[in-house]
Amino acid sequence: MKKLQILILLLIFNFSYAQVDKIEPEFWWSGMKNTELQLLVYGKNISDLVPEFSSNIPIKEVKKVENPNYLFVTIDTKSVPPGKVQLNFKKGKKTVQKFDYEFKRRNPNSAQRKGFDSSDVFYLIMPDRFANGNPNNDNTPDTAEKADRSNPNGRHGGDIEGIIQNLDYLNDLGITTIWTTPMLEDNEPVFSYHGYAQSDYYKIDPRFGNNEDYKRLADEMHKRDMKLVMDYVTNHWGSKHWIIQDLPTQDWIHIWDTEEARQQNGFQRSNYRMTTQFDLNASQTDAEGCMDGWFDTTMPDMNQKNPLVLNYMVQNAIWWIEYAGLDGLRVDTYSYNDKEGIAEWTQRVMDEYPNFNIVGEVWMHDQAQMAYWQKDSKIAAIQNYNSHLPSVMDFTLHDAIGMVFHEKEQSWDSGMIRVYENFTNDFLYPDINNLMVFMENHDTNRFNQIYDKLEDYKLGLSLILTVRGIPQLYYGSEIGMKGEKSKGDGDIRRDFPGGWKSDAQNAFTESGRTAEQKEYFDFTKKLLNWRKGNSAIHHGKTLHFVPQDNVYVYFRYDENSGETVMVVLNNSEKNQSLEMKRFKEGIKNFKKGKDVISDKEFELNNRLEIKSKSSMILELK
């Protein structure tokens, strides 16, 4: 009896002492360009185990770290065909656990997928606030925060199904690309709806749906020739991330060793001074304060100098691109990352998908500073740096847009000259058509809050849809939605009316829109659908003229197709009469122009009359 008890105890010891709970990524693909794959294996005391594939898959390295609950297993997948292989974990000669690890077959031309470009128009959605297509997932047992629409800073219940159900609305509007704020699990107890404190990088938040729903969203969009862009966060994870809860190594995140930080689990807030990344005069202390400081208390700062961290992020991004069929990434707080680490991350993703596109959030207020972060920047090359980032966001244009339409009179540095001056710095960017242009986003005042008149919305939209770059709209602006940043982020992230069955109004439908909402929508739809087919706007060059009397005139022209578009923005409160001889350089031999907005045709041989606070977009003929 005693021997039996001992045997039972030995069996319990062998099978409980070292137990694999998780392998990430949970599957991979055959035929990837980078054939090296690093598996993160997690479980109690698994460093005692030895991994072994039953097939002839070479294990290049098994790395143990200070936490015995982790193994990092690097394998060579070069000759691995699609299918399942057995991965064994052994203790001595005994096999403790067996796993079927799958290598999937890649979709045809996956590596050559084409990312978004300047022929596209982005529509930025906060999924929790857009539409609730499946009320059954508003609350789940394994997530902390519950839905409460009465709380402007709480979860409201919008989800993936809600987006899918309204894809035809967006397609009809003229949108080609959707960028959603993060939808990976964010299990913070409060403010989890925005998704930027992610707790599992391989799992869609169950309150949005599941991984299959996310893939279905991409598939449904592709059926409509639309593109899906994931909001990817490299700079920080959420404090509830399962890896953060049991760190593989102490240097997985930046833990600060100051008296204040020690009282807050290593937290020290970033100084947010992104200029220290390239400032030749910056102190190392200040540079580290930006790169290594935490974005917020619930967002530990990731250490991209740690190759295990960086590799995990690279593989995770590639996993989502391959799994969901993504068409691009938008990278949050790009310039807060370790600059060398984020450059390597970007390059490795782009090497796998050479025609892909990634836009980085570089929230700076100087064109040279923003241009520093774009791929092949000659400014950054002075410091032998290349971010490899194809696209950046044009925040200086956003700055100008936030003031210009209140400035009814032009002076030396106010009025439409603000917009003109922004474009005079285009020479700083290595790829000017690969800038994202926008009037607002999920972190700023709503454009229609700053300007409460439809005429200003028409001016702003006419501008961003006709200048160089990739326009981005924010959900609900097409029906005049407002929101004041000073009232809290919840106010600039209001629910789209009609996204919930209980809503009194449904602005997703024509009959459900008010007369005012219809004016906003119809104007937006007309310009967006016109823009889809105009190569001069997509890829053309720009010729612009110094604004006079608060009127800005510019031309977009495509030398290959011969298309030319003349844009006139009258920000003055007075009707204006323009002498056409001044614009002969852009008009050339064209005689007439048809206004896209009014559908009227105008002669170009004498003067052009334009009403106050209005725009004209003339296709020259």
- 156-184 mean pLDDT: 98
Which of 465, 495, 467 shows the shortest CA–CA distance to 483?
Answer: 495
Percent of the chain with pLDDT over 90: 93
What's the pLDDT at 14?
47
**127, 165 contact by CB (below 8 A):** no
What's the pLDDT at 366?
97
Q: Two tokens at 243?
A: 């890896």
Residue 7, pLDDT > 80, answer no
Q: Two tokens at 264?
A: 């807050």
Higher pLDDT, 476 or 6: 476
Q: Which residue has 């809860």 as its token pair?
A: 245
**603 — pLDDT class (breaks 50, 70, 90):** very high
Distance separating alpha carbons of residues 439 and 595, to the nearest angstrom: 23
Distance separating alpha carbons of residues 438 and 398, to the nearest angstrom: 6
Q: Two tokens at 390?
A: 């194809």
In this structure, the number of other CB atoms found within 10 A of the CB of residue 222 comes to 13
What's the pLDDT at 1?
53
Q: What confidence tens digit (pLDDT) does each residue in 265-305 have?
A: 778 899 999 999 999 999 999 999 999 999 999 999 999 99
What's the pLDDT at 264?
79
Q: Is the peptide bond before 390 cis (omega within 30 degrees of 0)?
A: no
Q: What confidence tens digit (pLDDT) does each residue in 174-206 have?
A: 999 999 999 999 999 999 999 999 999 999 999
Going by C-beta distance under 8 Å and a sequence separation of 6 or more, which residues neighbour residue 35?
76, 77, 78
Q: Two tokens at 35?
A: 């054939």
Residue 356, pLDDT > 50, answer yes
Q: Cα angle at 63 between 61 and 67, to 5 degrees?
A: 165
Q: What confidence tens digit (pLDDT) does each residue in 299-335 have?
A: 999 999 999 999 999 999 999 999 999 999 999 999 9
Which of 67, 73, 69, 83 shows the shortest CA–CA distance to 39?
Answer: 73
Which of 583, 579, 582, 604 shows the shortest CA–CA distance to 593?
Answer: 604
First to last CA, the chain: 100
In what side-by-side order are the strands of the sheet with 59-64? 22-24, 36-42, 70-76, 59-64
Distance separating alpha carbons of residues 77 and 5, to the nearest angstrom: 44
**282, 274 contact by CB (below 8 A):** no
**184, 237 contact by CB (below 8 A):** no
Percent of the chain with pLDDT over 70: 97
Which positions are catalytic? 332, 361
**54 — pLDDT class (breaks 50, 70, 90):** confident
Which of 349, 356, 360, 354 shows the shortest CA–CA distance to 327?
Answer: 356
Give this prediction's pTM.
0.95
The CA distances from residue 205 to 94, 150, 210, in Å, are 38, 21, 7
Q: What does DSSP say about strands 177-180 and 227-233: parallel, antiparallel, or unpaired? A: parallel
Q: What CATH superfamily is the domain 536-620?
A: Golgi alpha-mannosidase II (2.60.40.1180)
Which of 538, 525, 518, 235 shows the shortest CA–CA distance to 360?
Answer: 235
Q: Two tokens at 416?
A: 């439409």
For helices 454-464 and 515-531, give the axis angle rounded to 10 degrees.
Answer: 10
What's the pLDDT at 56?
85
Higher pLDDT, 11 or 594: 594
In what side-by-side order are the strands of the sheet with 541-548? 541-548, 551-557, 564-570, 614-620, 592-595, 601-603
What's the pLDDT at 418?
97
* Helix, strand, coil abundance in the chain, percent, nearest 5: 35, 25, 45
CATH code assigned to 2-105:
2.60.40.10
Distance separating alpha carbons of residues 325 and 314, to the nearest angstrom: 16
What's the pLDDT at 5?
54
In this structure, the number of other CB atoms found within 10 A of the CB of residue 12 comes to 10
What's the pLDDT at 15?
46
Residue 13, pLDDT > 50, answer no
Q: Which DSSP letter does residue 375 get?
A: T
Report which residue type is found at 231: D
Which of 587, 563, 589, 531 shows the shortest CA–CA distance to 173?
Answer: 531
What's the pLDDT at 561?
92
What's the pLDDT at 2?
55
Of 154-168, 186-200, 260-274, 528-542, minimum mean pLDDT range: 260-274
**CATH 2.60.40.1180 placement within the chain:** 536-620
Report which residue type is found at 574: K
For helices 211-223 and 307-324, give the axis angle rounded to 10 degrees.
Answer: 50
Distance separating alpha carbons of residues 556 and 554, to the nearest angstrom: 7
Q: What is the mean pLDDT of the chain?
A: 95
**18 — pLDDT class (breaks 50, 70, 90):** confident
What's the pLDDT at 259?
74
Q: What does DSSP say about strands 50-53 and 83-91: parallel, antiparallel, or unpaired? A: antiparallel
Residue 10, pLDDT > 60, answer no
**CATH 2.60.40.10 placement within the chain:** 2-105
Q: Two tokens at 527?
A: 């310009």
